[in-house]
Amino acid sequence: MDNPFFKYAGKKNFLVGDLSTLGGSFQPESLPHRESQIELMANTLSSVIRGTRPSNILLYGKTGSGKTSVATHVTKMLREATDDGVKVYYVNCQIYDSPYSIMVSLVNMLAPNQENEIPPLGWPQDRIYLELVRRINRMGKYVILILDEIDKLIKKNGGDSLYVLLKLLDDSAGSRTSIIGITNDTSFMDGLDARVRSRLNQESVLFPPYNASELRDILVYRLADIVKQGSVEEAAINLCAAIGAQEHGDARKAIDLMRISIEMAIRADNPAVTEDEVVKARGKFEMDVMREAVTTLPLQSKVLLLSAVITQELDNSQMVTGEIYENYKSICNELGFMPLSTRRISDILSELEDFGLLTAKTKSMGRYGRTRWIRVIGDYKSIKSHLLEDDHLSTFSGGGLMRQTRISSASDEKDEWGYMKATDIGDKLSDLANSTLAND
């Protein structure tokens, strides 16, 4: 077989710049339609120019509304205006999701060399805290700490986690440290107690979603140095902008969609990007992973999954293997398939669990043995519609299926035995033990 990559060698077509600049990590020099937010942040941070510590800032807005880009852009300009008299440190709280991990990250950022970093076995938190304060004070500069996804830190660790970092701001008085918090959750402050709010003492900046016209301007600006003029049709730009506007004004979505459209046009050796490429790119960008996972299953796996979906549809609670198998046999009889053995069905259930379509918990029933409680993951109605797209299953009518009369399987109920009287439990356990495949 010939090397398939040779046919793509040298293909640039209408590109005059680096297409990677349409990636999510690229920081543009200008941010259209965020001038007011930039000005508000500059007003707050201008305290540094006057020699005083600036207020903390919270940036609110939906995904793709430019919060992180604006924070990076403004702090870059602040460093330029102060001849690097400001140090900016960025921490993503989705990754560093505890005060300990954030402080370790900061200490290592401030380390002059690798020997001064915290060792792999770590230090106690109080020692890390004191070392961080010492290093910040010794640096003698203003410090801006950008905490992206700050709400994740609060949700996982509570308000005390933010209190520790705010206390750090007061203790590191020699460098006058401030926080810029970035969040999608406009209500995350509601979960903070009074002492944390008092220390935070923030100024807030709201980032409204982009509309289609604004997204179009952003796309035109970002494309200017990447493609030849006129090589991306106006209709294609307008369609990308409209799709981004439908996604809550997500600029990242619109830019990524344009990048994929350009890639597809280059691969096809087309002279320009049209609406057709955008439509194809959107299909690739928004491929329904669940649908792909379901529709590509082997036929018997589809039948078994359909049985699980129908069984859960009859009673939206966890199921036992015996119920699924009985309904599986009914479906096979209706559609003319040969049912598999109980052992093979157990294996397929495990495969569906590994595939992320089912969840199963094995529970002990005492002297009646062990059984698996099973539940379909996700929207089982959508899964059912995907399954019925198969021509072999499309004629399924659903007759003759049922749920057994048994103990409630909902693990999150107050009484795992379904609020039954104690005198009834023995009888129900006997029924369950006698049902087909009750014991795996």
- Please state, as a whole number, how many other Cβ atoms lie within 10 Å of the Cβ of residue 303: 26
Q: What class, spelled out in words, does domain 34-207 have in CATH? A: alpha beta
CA distance 88 to 305: 52
Two tokens, residue 428: 């129900």
Which range, 233-247, 277-291, 376-390, has the best average confidence (pLDDT)?
A: 233-247
The average pLDDT across 55-68 equals: 93
CATH number of 294-434: 1.10.10.10
CA distance 221 to 217: 6
Residue 438: band (very low, low, confident or very high) from pLDDT cuts 50, 70, 90: very low
- Domain spans, the chain: 8-19+211-287, 34-207, 294-434
The more confident residue out of 159 and 112 is 159
Domains 34-207 and 294-434 share a fold: no
CB 359 within 8 A of CB 349: no
| Three-class SS state of 246 | helix
159, pLDDT greater than 90: no
Q: How far apart, in Å, are the Cα atoms of 183 and each of 64, 115, 160, 328, 428?
A: 11, 35, 18, 47, 50
Residues whose CB falls within 8 Å of the CB of residue 357, separated by 6 or more in sequence, listed in order: 293, 294, 305, 376, 377, 378, 383
3, pLDDT greater than 50: yes
pLDDT in tens, 15-58: 888 888 888 778 899 999 999 999 999 999 999 999 888 999 99
Q: Which helix (H) or strand (E) holds 195?
A: helix 194-200
The average pLDDT across 68-73 equals: 95
121, pLDDT greater than 60: yes
In the DSSP assignment, the letter for residue 369 is -
Q: Which fold has domain 8-19+211-287?
A: Helicase, Ruva Protein; domain 3 (1.10.8)
